């Protein structure tokens, strides 16, 4: 057996440019999934490629205890983009590591052990973050994990959250919009309620913005998006990864002073390596300079309009900006296969009933037209069948 765990898709991708991926037979695909939100600036953005090439010829690697310009530039940039005053930046190589650090730092800073997480949550697949991930399929064969220390509450229910958090809680960890859970946005007042109860108990509030962050919802962070919150809700810890370095491995844990000051020993050899840091800085520059959050808001709104005008058999369109879930009943996987093989459109599932869209934030209205036309065709075929 060579290569396992991942199921292999029936197309081989050879190159990418902006929103388009090209297969080895020359077929072009519109990438509405961005391999789970990993290319917010588009595939192979010239500024990102250029920054990687330059850094590769200057310095590929020295470990994190040596100051290096590529790394300090990135940490300053992340601190400047961070909501509120959570300006202490710990770099790592993935989303699960960013959450793992968040959970560890919350324990050491509070002296508590208990975590509160939401049903439907996805926070990663290493032991700590996996313990706060909901789906039994991801966990059952690997237990025991930290199940004795994690309480799950229904997502969006402020009273249930308030009841679960107490003086023994190290942290509450939440996605402002659940991704893997089916694109469920926090209802009005929920994130604020999480902020208030964790303040009262001295627990850390962790927002996992690994999927929602970097402009996808229409603002750099979802916790500042006025479609979700009356005013920005600043957590004690915010995690980011996925698109941070345009698909190279990079994550970051942004921490308030009290968390950073309370952090005990932690580390990772490759964390914040100069090559990937240069890619991340270039990616963040593109997101800001090309005003991609605003584009995500505009094109995301067009998508919702066009879908409702097309009157398709879709029960609900959820999410914000260019993080969208289309509730299609049970056949999401067949729809995704048709979109890819018949229409050259790559999208993602979220469970069996949701088609999930997380395209590059450079998406245009003409891509939206192409998707809606393809859905008209595919959904009609599905309904007829």
Checking DSSP bridges between strand 184-185 and strand 177-178, what pairing results, if any? antiparallel
Taking the complex as a whole, how short is the minimal distance between the CB of residue 97 and ligand PLP, in angstroms? 7
One residue of 203, 211, 217, 281 binding ligand PLP per CB under 6 A? 211
Nearer of residues 127 and 370 to ligand PLP, judged by Cβ: 127
Binding mask 107-136 for ligand PLP (x = CB under 6 A): ---------------xxx------------
* Binding residues for ligand PLP restricted to 150-179, rule: CB under 6 A: 175, 179
Find how far residue 371's CA is from the centre of its chain: 22
Total number of residues that touch ligand PLP (CB under 6 A): 15
- Other residues' Cβ atoms within 10 Å of the Cβ of residue 145: 17
One residue of 18, 31, 100, 208 binding ligand PLP per CB under 6 A? 208
Taking the complex as a whole, how short is the minimal distance between the CB of residue 95 and ligand PLP, in angstroms? 2
Single out the segment in contact with ligand PLP by CB under 6 A; choices: 59-67, 134-142, 208-216, 365-373: 208-216
Nearer of residues 98 and 284 to ligand PLP, judged by Cβ: 98
* Binding residues for ligand PLP restricted to 12-41, rule: CB under 6 A: 36
> Which residue has the CB atom at the shortest distance from ligand PLP?
95
Nearer of residues 229 and 368 to ligand PLP, judged by Cβ: 229
* Binding residues for ligand PLP restricted to 43-102, rule: CB under 6 A: 94-96, 99
What residues contact residue 102 under an 8 Å CB cut-off, 6+ apart? 171, 173, 204, 206, 208, 237, 239, 253, 255
Q: Take residue 19 and report the two structure tokens written for it.
A: 């929103």
For the chain, the residue count is 385
CB 105 within 8 A of CB 266: yes
Nearer of residues 350 and 368 to ligand PLP, judged by Cβ: 350
Q: In this structure, what are the phi and psi dihedrals at residue 294, rounded to the nearest 5 degrees?
A: -65, -40
Residue at token pair 């959450």: 99
Binding mask 225-244 for ligand PLP (x = CB under 6 A): ----------------xx--
Nearer of residues 228 and 312 to ligand PLP, judged by Cβ: 228
Checking DSSP bridges between strand 28-31 and strand 114-118, what pairing results, if any? unpaired
Nearer of residues 331 and 349 to ligand PLP, judged by Cβ: 349
Q: In this structure, what are the phi and psi dihedrals at residue 237, rounded to the nearest 5 degrees?
A: -140, 135
Nearer of residues 40 and 95 to ligand PLP, judged by Cβ: 95
Nearer of residues 27 and 35 to ligand PLP, judged by Cβ: 35
CB 116 within 8 A of CB 169: yes
Single out the segment in contact with ligand PLP by CB under 6 A; choices: 24-32, 203-211, 312-320, 372-380: 203-211
3-state secondary structure (DSSP) of residue 15:
strand
CB 96 within 8 A of CB 210: no
Q: Check residue 145 and report its DSSP letter.
A: S
Tell me, letter by letter, the H, E, C secondary structure of 52-74.
HHHHHHHCCCCCCCCCCHHHHHH
Nearer of residues 250 and 374 to ligand PLP, judged by Cβ: 250
Taking the complex as a whole, how short is the minimal distance between the CB of residue 369 and ligand PLP, in angstroms? 28
The continuous run of DSSP H or E covering 258 comes out as helix 257-262
* Binding residues for ligand PLP restricted to 310-369, rule: CB under 6 A: none
Q: Check residue 370 and report its DSSP letter.
A: H
**Cis peptide leading into residue 144 (ω within 30°):** yes
Single out the segment in contact with ligand PLP by CB under 6 A; choices: 45-53, 204-212, 268-276, 371-379: 204-212
CA distance 115 to 266: 19
Q: Which residues bind ligand PLP (CB under 6 A)?
A: 36, 94-96, 99, 122-124, 175, 179, 208, 210-211, 241-242
């Amino acid at each position: 057996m060579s290569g396992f765990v991942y199921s292999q898709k029936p197309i081989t991708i050879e190159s990418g440019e902006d929103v388009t991926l090209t297969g080895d037979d020359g077929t072009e695909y519109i990438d509405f999934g961005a391999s789970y939100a990993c290319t917010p600036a588009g595939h192979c953005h010239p500024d990102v490629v250029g920054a990687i090439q330059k850094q590769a010829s200057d310095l590929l690697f020295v470990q994190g205890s040596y100051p290096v310009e590529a790394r300090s530039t990135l940490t300053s940039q992340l601190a400047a983009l961070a909501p509120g005053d959570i300006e202490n930046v710990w770099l790592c190589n993935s989303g699960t590591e960013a959450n793992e650090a968040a959970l560890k730092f919350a324990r050491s800073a509070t002296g508590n052990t208990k975590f509160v997480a939401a049903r439907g949550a996805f926070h990663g697949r290493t032991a700590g973050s996996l313990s706060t991930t909901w789906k039994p399929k991801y966990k059952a064969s690997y237990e025991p994990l930290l199940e004795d220390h994690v309480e799950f509450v229904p997502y969006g229910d402020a009273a249930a959250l308030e009841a679960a958090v107490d003086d023994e809680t190290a942290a509450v960890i939440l996605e402002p919009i659940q991704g893997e859970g089916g694109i469920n946005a926090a209802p009005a007042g929920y994130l604020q309620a999480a902020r208030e109860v964790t303040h009262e108990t001295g627990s850390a509030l962790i927002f996992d913005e690994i999927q929602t962050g970097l402009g996808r919802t229409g603002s750099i962070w979802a916790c500042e998006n006025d479609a979700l919150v009356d005013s920005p809700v600043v957590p004690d810890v915010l995690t980011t990864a996925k698109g941070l370095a345009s698909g190279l491995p990079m994550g970051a844990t942004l921490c308030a002073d009290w968390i950073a000051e309370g952090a005990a020993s932690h580390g990772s050899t490759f964390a914040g390596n100069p090559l990937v840091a240069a890619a991340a800085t270039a990616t963040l520059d593109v997101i800001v300079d090309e005003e991609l959050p605003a584009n995500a808001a505009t094109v995301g709104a067009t998508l919702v309009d066009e879908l409702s005008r097309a009157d398709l058999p879709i029960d609900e369109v959820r999410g914000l900006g260019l993080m969208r879930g289309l509730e299609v009943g049970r056949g999401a996987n067949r729809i995704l296969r048709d979109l890819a093989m018949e229409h050259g459109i790559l999208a993602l599932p979220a469970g069996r009933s949701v088609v999930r869209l997380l395209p590059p934030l450079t998406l245009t209205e003409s891509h939206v037209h192409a998707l809606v036309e393809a859905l008209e065709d595919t959904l009609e075929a599905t309904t007829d069948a």
